[in-house]
A and B are shown apart, each in its own frame.
Chain A
């Protein structure tokens, strides 16, 4: 895939507030996107994915929105908790490829 990047490198939110993490992608042929959470010293942990035939997908406390027109996706975390503190990556395997392309990530810090 081509570049997948994130708008903000850091995000601080108050516990209980909602968090929104943004991601832009450049390959218009990309048809599958994944959000990962990575805690210090651990590998990326799958959170939620979305395919290009969907605009929105919800999980437990998380929602991913996909806007194919502007090639943008976001991860919304409801009622953010201290355990949500981590680096969040969006990733894209690109069209016809299995290798994931990651952005630099957004570090989410939750203020108790």
Chain B
């Protein structure tokens, strides 16, 4: 499978714990995006990388959230001190250069107990 891969698919954790998600984009794609999606809503943009550089961050990305893409390939999204409101589907997408459609992974569903 050469699509966008996300791990884990599901994560259940207690409030206050830290969680980390991983995204492996399509191999030749240099742009990587993180989105968050809550039930009944469309995905909301969180942040964007071009190669290893984080170029855009949404106001939704509070100080508890951090994303990295150290070698310009896979990316991680960490949430520290999780809160109930962090429960959502976290989606990763990637694309190549130019105005191309973003291709999404199947997301990580986070549930906060």
Question: Chain A: residues with CB nearer than 8 A to chain B?
Answer: 31-32, 34, 36, 41-46, 49, 51, 89, 91, 93, 97-105
Of B14-22, B42-50, B63-71, B78-86, the one contacting chain A is B42-50
Decide if B27 is an interface residue (CB 8 Å cutoff).
no
Residue from B6, B41, B102, B105 within 8 A of A100 (CB atoms): B102
| Chain B residues, CB < 8 A from A51 | 99
When A32-B99, A93-B99 are in contact, do A44 and B43 touch as well, CB less than 8 Å?
yes
Contact present for A103 and B106 (CB under 8 Å): no
Decide if B104 is an interface residue (CB 8 Å cutoff).
yes
**Looking at chain A's contact residues, is the secondary structure mostly helix, strand, loop, or mixed?**
loop
Minimal beta-carbon separation of B74 from chain A (angstroms):
17
| Chain A residues, CB < 8 A from B35 | 100
CA distance A99 to B91 in the complex (A): 13
The chain B residue sitting closest to A35, CB to CB, is B101
Minimal beta-carbon separation of B31 from chain A (angstroms):
7
Contact present for B58 and A102 (CB under 8 Å): no
Contact present for A102 and B42 (CB under 8 Å): yes
Contact present for A46 and B42 (CB under 8 Å): no
When A89-B42, A98-B48 are in contact, do A43 and B105 touch as well, CB less than 8 Å?
yes
Decide if B25 is an interface residue (CB 8 Å cutoff).
no
When A32-B99, A98-B31, A98-B48 are in contact, do A43 and B106 touch as well, CB less than 8 Å?
yes
Using an 8 Å CB-CB cutoff, how does the interface string of B77-113 with A read, 1 for contact, 0 for none? 0000000000000010100000101111111000000
The chain B residue sitting closest to A51, CB to CB, is B99
When A43-B91, A99-B48, A99-B58 are in contact, do A105 and B42 touch as well, CB less than 8 Å?
yes
